[in-house]
Chain A
Amino acid sequence: MASITFDKVGKIYPGGNRVITDVNLNISDGEFLVLVGPSGCGKSTLLRMIAGLEEVTEGELKIGDRVVNDVTPKDRDIAMVFQNYALYPHMTVFDNMAFGLKLRKMPKEEINRRVGEAARVLELGEYLQRKPKALSGGQRQRVAMGRAIVREPSAFLMDEPLSNLDAKLRVQMRSEIGMLQQRLGTTTVYVTHDQVEAMTMGERVAVMRKGRIQQVDTPRNLYDFPDNLFVAGFIGSPSMNFIYATLEGEGDEVYANMAGDRVKLDRTAVAEKSALANYKGKEIVVGIRPEMFELVAAVPSADPEQTISVTVGLVEQLGSEAFIHFVKPSPPVVTPDIRELLADQGTDAASLGNETKFTARVDPDFTPKPGEEAKLVVETQKLHFFDKDTGDAIR
């Protein structure tokens, strides 16, 4: 077992294409770290750099105390689980798992013991003599896991190992992998594009965008204290609502004027975010998680200065909760990545129209009907504030 350390790691392909920029990350021994981000953000490349399948062109990568920049994959003592499992089709399940051990010239009894143990844990016992072709997707996934486990490596690398499974199996395997990792205590780096997977599995989650790590923290902290608009928008489902607002001071109180809706901010929250004082009278971006809304009907004691009126659009009734969609007449918040996306398509922010869409998670018992007017109270102690130019959180 070992820690994994990135020190100013970067990667530029021979053509000059830069995919990883200045990654500094310390994954401690036994930790379960998830790399998450949209496709093309470099998370898989980073994982493959740990595996030795991609060259590190800048900085230093350490496994344990050893710099592994120039160490071949076979000498890194890591095991990897691939997205499509990469089982050897011509070998039986047993041979697939035993392959790495045989190459290391391990005694037969030890190989049998380890494979047997892994097969027991993964419930593959009766399939050991089958070829991968004769297995279901879930079973293949287990074989891939087993192949990694029997090696007893210093780290597991997993590249979207669950993305080829159906939704139900995915949830099941998610918890199984989590439990397995806890039991084995092996350092694990897990790549996924699914933020739910990231949040539920990772001890810490590193959010990546365009080859840079945006933020590394526990799932809870990522959710509560996102460093910037990207992380705030990426983590959480449904996503955080963003709207442009002007901060207005009035006596001791601070109000956020969001396209005409004036909401009084929570005094303690404002006091805690000392940098907020510099933004008085200026336009910022306010982030509101869907659950920070509630129907006034469900909270009769709500402060009228913290309520807004909305015209209900779509209503999604889930039983345990309900989602209300509505719009506000304010241009949508354009984050740097949205601006880039638009530029790629040859348009700009103006094409997005003049309405900001909102989702509110509310008490299912008081759900209004589409088209009705509703009053929503905003839980202002948990609002997020961002600089509208840099997208960084204001704290």
Chain B
Amino acid sequence: MTTPAVAPVDEVPPQPISEDPGARNNSLAAWLLRIGSALVIPAVLILFFFTFDFLKQEDTNKLLQVAVAVAVGVGGIWLLYWGMDRAISVMPEQIGNAVRPFAFAGPAMVLLGFYLVYPAVNTFILSFQSADGDEFVGLANFQRIFTEETYLISIRNSVIWVILVPIVAVVIGLGFATLSDRLGKRSETVAKSMIFLPMAISFVGASVVWRFVYNFRPEGFGEQIGLLNAVKVATGTDPVDWISIPLWNNLFLMVILIWLQVGFAMVILSSAIKAVPVDEIEASRIDGANEWQVFRKIVVPSIASTLVVVWTTVLITTWKVFDIVFVMTGGGFDTSVVAERMVTEFFTFGNDGMGSALAVLLFVAVLPILVINVKRFQEQERLR
């Protein structure tokens, strides 16, 4: 857990962030008070955890427990913050102003560090260890990932997912957004709701739904109940086991995620399209643009930043996808993806080392996209 960086006095940017002299009080006393105030609440919470047995008793009235938990949790935290605020206000003003931000933001930082940073660091360490974590194996886990076929297939599949799903979802979403924008108010709402509906379904739920679309029964195991195969049978062709066709089966799984994400892309892009000033569109029509040119040269550039945000958001979701593959094929038929492989390693094979290595891979691969997003965001803020 790093403490927030405080620039040395001679490197303070030309425009001081705060006119408050207390903000730059870097005396030892101030720092001790800052750290202390940030640790008070987490310390109390930990103390509570080990001493307050009432909430752990199994034979007491549950409702009462809930009531006490809420009262102590909400009221107690409020009381602690209030108490700290009082304590700070009796300090000399200089010190008080220096400590106050840490007293309020500090506890959250400490707790976040405990729940987020510590596991992340631990995962990183685990990735260099053996299956049960009792010896360091160096880069061996990563070496396996990038040499063994099982893992390479997962990576290959993930890359295909990450390339195809975001682009297709964004393109279809943009199409729906543009077309629905031209409908009447009511039909637009209805159309958009229909397309958005899958967003409300969990990935697992959606996968179960699509199992019925792709369902295949070998001969002698009953009638074809899968939607696609029902169509095939009705048209007189032989049913197909969609999920087991190499490479294509990946695409069939991707369709599920696209189906889930198009609604998201459409809703965000639709509001971006609506924010393009009507005047600009009318001006371009008068300037001689046809509808396609209006879309291509006015609407799309105007919503470019939203397109990037939607694209990266879907991309990150796609990169982390696990449930769809897990439910549909369990990673079989060469459909495994990295996130799914990670869960399998952790929980099916109990190989913490490999699982952590895959987790690190997932995390590192997302970093560039995060950087792009943040940079882009800063750029926008600067132009604003």
Binding site for B on A (CB under 8 A): 51-53, 72-74, 76, 78-80, 82-84, 86-91, 99-100, 103-104, 133, 147, 151
B279 touches A151 (CB 8 A): no
What is the distance, in angstroms, from B69's C-beta to the closest C-beta of chain A?
Answer: 52
| B301 (CB) vs chain A CBs: closest residue | A90
Which listed residue (A53, A91, A104, A133) contacts B383, Cβ 8 A?
Answer: A133
CB distance from A13 to the nearest CB of B (A): 14
Using known A-B contacts A86-B277, A86-B279, determine if residue A79 contacts B286 with beta carbons closer than 8 Å: yes
Whether B189 is near chain A, meaning CB under 8 Å from some CB there, is no
Interface of A, secondary structure class, is: loop
**If the complex has contacts A82-B279, A88-B298, A90-B302, are A72 and B287 also in contact, measured as CB distance less than 8 A?**
no
CB <8 Å contact, A73 and B279: no
Which of B286, B288, B290, B302 contacts A51, CB < 8 Å?
B286
Complex partner residue of A74 from B289, B297, B298, CB under 8 angstroms: B289
Smallest CB gap from B298: residue in A: A88
- The SS class assigned to the B binding surface is helix
Q: A158 vs B194: C-alpha distance in the bound complex, in angstroms?
A: 42
Type the 1/0 row for B283-327, where 1 means its CB is closer than 8 Å to any CB of A: 111111110010001100110100000000000000000000000
A74 and B288 within 8 A (CB) = yes
Once A74-B288, A103-B289 are accepted as A-B contacts, the answer to whether A86 and B283 lie under 8 Å apart by CB is yes
Q: List 23 A-B contacts (CB under 8 A).
A: A53-B282, A53-B286, A73-B285, A74-B285, A74-B290, A80-B282, A80-B283, A86-B283, A87-B280, A87-B283, A88-B280, A88-B283, A88-B298, A89-B280, A90-B301, A90-B302, A90-B304, A99-B284, A99-B289, A100-B287, A103-B287, A104-B288, A147-B287
Cα-based distance from A206 to B277 in the complex (angstroms)? 29
Name the A residues within 8 Å of B283 (CB-CB). Answer: 80, 82, 86-88, 147
With a cutoff of 8 Å between Cβ atoms, the chain B residues found around residue A104 in the complex are 288
Q: How far is the CA of A308 from the CA of B279 in the complex (A)?
A: 54
Please encode chain B, from 259 to 293, with 1 for each CB lying within 8 Å of some chain A CB and 0 for all others: 00000000000000000010110111111111001
B304 close to A74 (CB less than 8 A) = no
Q: How far is the CB of A317 from chain B (nearest CB, A)?
A: 43
With A86-B277, A99-B287, A103-B288 as known contacts, state yes or no: A73 contacts B302, CB within 8 Å.
no
> Which of chain B's residues have a CB closer than 8 A to the CB of A51?
282, 286
B279:A84 contact, CB within 8 angstroms: yes
Shortest B294–chain A CB gap in Å is 10
For the complex, give the distance between the alpha carbons of A106 and B286 in Å: 16
| A86-B282, A104-B288 given; 4 more Cβ-contact pairs under 8 Å | A51-B286, A76-B286, A84-B277, A87-B283
